[in-house]
Structure formats: C-alpha cells, structure tokens
Amino acid sequence: MSVKNSTISSNRVAGLRPTPVFDAYWRFAAERQEILFKRIAGQEGPWTDDPILRQFRFTNAYRATDRVSQYLIKHVIYNPELDPSPIETVFRTLLFKIFNKIETWEVLASQLGKIHTSTYNRNLYDGVLMQIMANGGRIYSGAYIMPPVKIANTDGVKHRGHLSLIDKMFSEDITESLIASTSLRHIFNVLTSYPSIGPFLGYQLAIDINYSTVVDHQESEFVVAGPGALDGISKCFENANDYNPADIIELMCDRQELEFERLDLSFKSLGERRLQLIDCQNLFCEISKYSRVSHPEYVGAAGRTRIKQSFRQHGGLEPLFLPPKWNLTEFGVSA
C-alpha cells in the first residue's frame, strides 16, 4: 500500500493524511537500528549505503541505546562503585542530566571524587565548572536547551542557578516524593513543579529517573512532544496541526509492526521491547533532520534546511547495557 493520498483511521487521529516523509520515518528507524547492531557486532564501516546516514549524525531508534543514555545507565545509575541508595541515584541522575554532557560529569568526578550528597558543596562544583569554561570548554550539551533558573544569589550565572536548583530539590526531599509516585505522570508533575523545568524537560528527566530502580512505571503511559518532534510531525502529515501531537506519537507506537510489515522492513527490536512512546517521539525529531536532505520540499514548522552535525566514524561499540529491570537477557542484562 502506498501512503500517498491515503488517510489514517484510528480513533483520535482519524483522517490524518501522511506525506512521503511518513514512510521515510520507518525506513530511517529500521536502517538506523541496523547500523547500531552492525557496530555492536564489530563490523567495519561504513555500515549503510544510505548517503545521508553516512554523512550526518543521528541518534539511535531507541533512546536508551544512545551514547549519553548508555553512559547515564551504565556509569551513573548502575555503576557498582557508586552508592546505590535511592537518594544518591536520583542525585547523580539529576546532576548528570542538567548538563547532559559526559565530559562535564567526568571532570566533576575527577576533581571532586565520587559524586555524593554528603560531600555536595555548591561552591566547589561552581569552581570546577568555572574552570572548565575558563579553559574554553562547554559544560552543557547541545542536545536540548537547559533554560536558566531564576534563583537569588547566583549572579545570573546559568550553572549556578542549576546548582541552586539541585540544593532546592534535595532540601525539599525530592527523592521521597519520587518514591511515593504512582505513575510516570506523577514523576513528571513532581519535576515540573520546580523552577525552569518545563513540560519537555520534565518528561525527559522522568524517563531518565525511570531507568533506575527508584521507581518502576510504564513508559507507555504518556508522552510530551519536543520542538524537534513537532517539526517532524508537521513533515510527516499534511494536516498535523489539526491533531494533538501526543495522539500522533501514540499512533506511531501502536502501528509500528504494521508499518514495518507494509514497507517490507526488517526492524531489529531490542528483544521483545517494542519502540516506546519516548522512542517514537525521538524518531520524529530525527526524521525532522533527515528529511531536510531526503525531502527538502517538506519544509516543516521550524523551516530549517540544514543538518548541522556531521557523522564521525569511531569504529565499533561496547555491548549495550540496558536497565536490568527490563529483563533483556539477550543484551547481557537481567534482573
């Protein structure tokens, strides 16, 4: 079945009209996953014949398999050398994700020792971060924008506001609030009650905390579309503005097996773990970038025409380390 001139009939998104970028979404997901598995198997590159995927940098189909998420899960959350208690796990996760940059975390750890609430000193952390910047380094990732926090006595310095936010969270026993949560949305509500944490950032942080054993909620409960996903959605559907973006993401999650079969694509899932809402949201962000080259005629809501980051080939990858509670034994982790 060709997607052209067709409509989708499914509850809240009945009448949604796909564009050719809709098919590209599924092809991108399958090929990006194929690249991941080839790299893990130690095959030499290039790992694809797709010229766009060979030239530019894209994230993986599953959020948890990306470089930064893998580092967070393996070295920050489940690191056997670090305190596994709930308060320390939440503290490390939030501190890491505020900057979302592996290099920043590693400098903090090397300069300050093991990251722990008992030794957390805002001034010491500030000094290390100021030194990174003085040496010409960046302390924040460019993956998404961390808005500044308006908290007194931070002199307008962005990272000082975030360090003060950490202080505020743990002085108010955020860990206990998270442990008491009854759902992923409950975690989201706790996080977004704090200054500067908006819906998209709150959703991302909720997913990160949910990788741990502090909480254990279903990722399929709800989704928040970020700016990149909204742009991708606008390219995949002619009449996307007529629908709730979350409903469209849920549609993609629900239909994934049908669409891969329709397009005769072999998608290598993570065992029995299907693409989750967070993954389908991220894939919309990635197809937003990919289609700037593959389908330039679909400008999208953001109007961007260039892909900024080029791909640099670094060889193979370590085996995946995924949350043990997922019981994905074929990937070397189990409860």
pLDDT value at residue 144: 73
Of the listed ranges 5-9, 143-147, 180-184, 284-288, the one predicted with least confidence: 5-9
Percentage, residues of the chain above pLDDT 90? 80
pLDDT at 68 over 50: yes
pLDDT value at residue 29: 98
Q: Please give the residue that has the higher pLDDT: either 6 or 159.
A: 159
pLDDT value at residue 218: 94
Q: What is the pLDDT of residues 98-110, one digit of tens each?
A: 999 999 999 999 9
Could you list the beta-strand ranges (E) of 250-296. none
Instruction: Retrieve residue 146's tokens.
Output: 């961390």
pLDDT value at residue 300: 85
Q: How far apart are CA 170 and CA 133, in angstroms?
A: 26
Of the listed ranges 71-75, 259-263, 297-301, the one predicted with least confidence: 297-301
Q: How far apart are CA 46 and CA 48, in angstroms?
A: 6
Q: What is the mean pLDDT of the segment spanning 163-167?
A: 95
**SS3 category, 219:** coil
pLDDT at 164 over 80: yes
Mean pLDDT for all residues in the chain:
91
pLDDT at 311 over 90: no
Could you give the count of Cα atoms lying within 13 Å of 36 in the half-sphere of its Cβ? 23
pLDDT value at residue 7: 55
Q: How far apart are CA 179 and CA 219, in angstroms?
A: 16
Q: How confident is the model at residue 142 (pLDDT cuts 50, 70, 90)?
A: confident
pLDDT at 331 over 70: no
Please name every residue paired with 318 in a beta bridge, in sequence order, or none if there are none.
none
Query: DSSP letters of 132-178?
Result: HHHTT---S-SSS-------TTSTT-HHHHHHHHHHHHHHTTHHHHH
Would the pTM count as exceeding 0.85? yes
User: CB 268: neighbour CB atoms within 10 A?
Assistant: 11
CB 154 within 8 A of CB 161: yes
CB 278 within 8 A of CB 63: yes
Q: Please give the residue that has the higher pLDDT: either 2 or 152.
A: 152
pLDDT value at residue 185: 97
pLDDT value at residue 58: 95
Q: Please give the residue that has the higher pLDDT: either 333 or 226.
A: 226
Q: What is the pLDDT of residues 187-201, one digit of tens each?
A: 999 999 999 999 999
What letters, b where the CB count within 10 A reaches 16 and e where it falls short, cover 129-167?
A: beebeeeeeebbbeeeebebbebeebeeeebbbbbbbbe
Q: What is the mean pLDDT of the segment spanning 34-48?
A: 91
